[in-house]
């Protein structure tokens, strides 16, 4: 079973196709480089989805890569797949071994004090994604998020705010 397959076994909807794959080193420039490449490929809104959905996707992608860079020491693989309702972002890293008790079960909910400058990435991902999660497979940490390609049903549409 591949690492992506392992992550997808935890995800409800496997991708129908792979759109992009990046292999990046854990440097401070990595999240920006991946985001820039994503927006250069699909940021015009005509190719893949509306600009708001692409912005959401770029934010999730950036947060997951940033998290991997901050906590990883080895190269990171990022895979973007298409599903029937949006995209599946899978970030695979090879972290140092962690004792089971070191993994925070509530990592997707921020417990960061309001004055802190960081620590909210996974909370942002959880808020924007339809579903998200993580698993360990073959010594790798695999983090995934499903990002919808349609407008958020709870956000007012442009037509609704114009009237």
| pLDDT tens digits, 43-59 | 655 555 577 888 888 99
| pLDDT tens digits, 3-31 | 455 445 555 455 667 788 889 888 889 98
| pLDDT tens digits, 76-118 | 999 998 888 888 999 998 765 555 545 555 555 555 555 555 6
Domains, in order of start, for the chain? 3-152 (3.30.565.10)
The DSSP call for residue 38 is H
The whole-number pLDDT of residue 70 equals 86
pTM greater than 0.85:
no
| pLDDT tens digits, 153-163 | 555 444 444 44
Query: Across residues 105-132, what is the average pLDDT?
Result: 70
Short-list 85, 83, 89, 101, CA closest to 58? 89
The whole-number pLDDT of residue 117 equals 58
Strand ranges, E, within 119-160: 131-137, 140-148
Let me know the angle formed at the C-alpha of 147 by 125 and 9, rounded to the nearest 5 degrees.
Answer: 95
């Amino acid at each position: 079973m591949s690492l992506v397959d392992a992550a997808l076994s935890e995800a409800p909807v496997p991708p129908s196709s792979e759109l992009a794959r990046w292999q990046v080193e854990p440097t401070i420039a990595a999240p920006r480089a991946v985001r820039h490449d994503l927006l250069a490929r699909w940021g015009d809104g005509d190719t893949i989805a509306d600009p708001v959905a692409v912005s959401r996707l770029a934010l999730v992608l950036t947060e997951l890569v940033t998290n991997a860079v901050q906590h990883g020491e080895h190269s990171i693989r990022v895979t973007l797949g298409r599903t029937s309702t949006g995209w599946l972002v899978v970030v695979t890293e090879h972290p140092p071994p962690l004792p089971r008790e070191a993994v925070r079960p509530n990592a997707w909910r921020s417990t960061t004090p309001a004055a802190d400058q960081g620590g909210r990435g996974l909370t942002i991902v959880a808020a924007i994604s339809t579903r998200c999660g993580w698993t360990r497979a073959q010594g790798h940490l695999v983090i995934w998020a499903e990002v919808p390609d349609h407008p958020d049903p709870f956000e007012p549409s442009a037509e609704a705010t114009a009237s």
